[in-house]
Amino acid sequence: MREEILRRLRATSGRGRKLRGVLVLLRPYRGRVIGMFAALLVATGATLAPPPLAKLAIDDGITPGDETVLYWTVAAFLVSALLLWGATWIQTYLVGWVGQRALQDLRIEVFGHLQRLSIGFYSRRQSGVLISRLTNDVEALNQLVSDGVVTLFQASLTVLGTIAILFWLDAELAAITMLAVPLLLLGSLGFRIASADAYRITRERIAVISGYLQETLSGVRMVRAFGRERRHLARFGELNDDNRAANMKTVNLNAAYFPAVELLSAIVTVAILLYGGYQAIDGAVTVGVLVAFVTALNNFFDPIQQLSQLYTTYQSGMAALDKIFELLDEQPELVDAPDAVQLGRLRGAIAFEGVSFRYQGQDEWALCDVDLHVPPGQTVALVGATGAGKSTLAKLVARFYDPDRGRVLVDGHDLRAVASESLRSQMGIVPQEAFLFSGTVRENIVFGKPDATLTEVRDAAAAVGADAFISGLENGYDTEVGERGVQLSAGQRQLIAFARALIADPRILVLDEATSNVDIHTEAQIERGLRRLLAGRTAIVIAHRLSTIRQAGRIVVLEHGDVVEQGTHDELLAAEGAYYRLYRDWAEQAAA
Pick from 204, 211, 218, 202: nearest CA to 124: 211
- Beta pairing partners, 302: none
- For residue 480, give the DSSP letter: B
The DSSP output letter for 61 is I
| Cβ count within 10 A of residue 12 | 17
- Triad 418, 422, 423: Cα angle to 5°: 70
Pairing of strands 350-357, 405-410: antiparallel
DSSP 207-228: HHHHHHHHHHHHTHHHHHHTT-
Neighbours of 443 (CB within 10 A): 17
Q: Tell me the one-letter amino acid at 238.
A: E
Superfamily of domain 350-591: P-loop containing nucleotide triphosphate hydrolases (3.40.50.300)
* The domains spanning 2-329 and 350-591 adopt the same CATH topology: no
Query: Do 209 and 311 touch, CB atoms closer than 8 A?
Result: no
What H or E segment, with its residue span, contains residue 371?
Answer: strand 367-374
Q: Contact at 8 Å (CB) between 565 and 382?
A: no
The separation between the first and the last C-alpha atoms of the chain, rounded to the nearest angstrom, is 63
27: Cα within 13 Å, side-chain hemisphere: 15
Q: For residues 246 and 264, give the distance between their C-alpha atoms in angstroms, rounded to a whole number.
A: 28
HSE-CB for 311 with a 13 A CA cutoff = 22
Q: Note the helical H segments in 117-228.
A: 119-124, 127-132, 138-143, 149-169, 171-178, 181-218, 220-225
Q: What is the mean pLDDT of each run of 10 residues along the chain (592 residues)?
A: 53 54 75 88 88 83 82 89 91 84 79 74 70 74 74 84 86 82 75 71 77 70 64 81 82 78 79 79 80 80 74 72 76 78 86 88 84 88 83 85 89 87 82 77 84 86 82 84 76 82 83 66 66 77 73 83 86 83 75 60
Q: How far is residue 533's CA from residue 529's CA, in Å, rounded to a whole number? A: 6
Rounded-to-integer distance, Cα 207 and Cα 564, Å: 46
- What is the structure's pLDDT at 85? 93
Pick the CATH number of 2-329 from 3.40.50.460, 3.40.640.10, 3.40.190.10, 1.20.1560.10: 1.20.1560.10
The helix (run of H) or strand (run of E) holding residue 408 is strand 405-410
- 293 contacts 272 by C-beta, under 8 angstroms: yes
Query: So what's the pLDDT on residue 42?
Result: 92
Instruction: Give me the pLDDT at residue 418, please.
Output: 86
The Cα–Cα gap between 532 and 97 comes to 54
Instruction: Return the closest-CA partner of residue 162 out of 296, 72, 50, 324.
Output: 296
pLDDT for residue 61? 80
Q: Where are the domains of the chain?
A: 2-329, 350-591
